[in-house]
Amino acid sequence: MGPGGTAYCQPSDLAIYGCPVQALAQYQPIASNATLLANCLAASGEADSFMRSRYPIDNGGLLTWGTEITMHVAWIATYITFSALGYDSENGSDRQIADRYYQAVGYPDRPGSGYFPGIERQRIHPNVTFNTPSPSNQFSSPMVVSNNPRFQPGGPQGGPGPTVIPNGYGRSGWPYFL
């Protein structure tokens, strides 16, 4: 979902991408705006379940997304809406509701098919911008921290540090380079 739990599609998008306005109008007030919004949120959650394996959804969600995400989420929300209201999945235009849903989430008899499984498997690359939280300003630049004592003054366990014998060899007999 987008920032603040925003759905990837709104109830008005269902009329644009999901189904004709007349089809939803005949179910009013059962398919109220609040119900449609709840279905849009549920569809956005289903989309997130696929995209979570690829994108940092849990770290602030998506800031922006393309119309292709909106369209496919609207197809899922339409399917959720008409599954509750009742439709004939084998009849004419009602068949499109199920077909579009399966185009979005994948056909049961074809594993890996569908738009969101394609995103998950990195075959489809949608236009998205992440809402990543700003990093902590505790450190002004990257740093490396080590507790290895060999380069500390005094050497390991407080012993003498590395020394250079005038001929260029250290205490171990190996050449010592600065």
- For 3-29, write each residue's pLDDT tens digit: 667 889 998 888 888 777 677 777 666
Residue 87 belongs to some domain of the structure:
yes
With cut-offs at 50, 70 and 90, classify the pLDDT of residue 41: very high
CB 73 within 8 A of CB 40: yes
Whether residue 76 is contained in a domain is answered as yes
CA separation for the pair 47, 104 (Å, rounded):
9
101-129 burial, b if ≥16 CB within 10 A, otherwise e? bbbbbbeeeeeeebbbbbbbeeeeebebe
177: number of Cβ within 10 Å: 7
What is the distance between the alpha carbons of residues 46 and 101, in angstroms, rounded to a whole number? 11
pTM over 0.85: no
Residue 143 resides in a domain: no
**More confident call, 170 vs 35:** 35
| Helices and strands in the chain, H and E counts | 6, 2
CA distance 81 to 139: 50
Report the C-alpha gap between 43 and 114 in whole angstroms. 15
Mean pLDDT of the residues in the chain: 76
Higher pLDDT, 126 or 132: 126
Q: Is residue 64 part of a domain?
A: yes
Q: Does any domain span residue 160?
A: no
Could you tell me if residue 138 is inside a domain? no
Average pLDDT score over residue span 102-107: 92
How many domains are contained in the chain?
1
pLDDT of residue 68: 94
Domain housing 11: 3-130
First to last CA, the chain: 55
pLDDT at 74: 94
Evaluate whether residue 50 is within a structural domain: yes
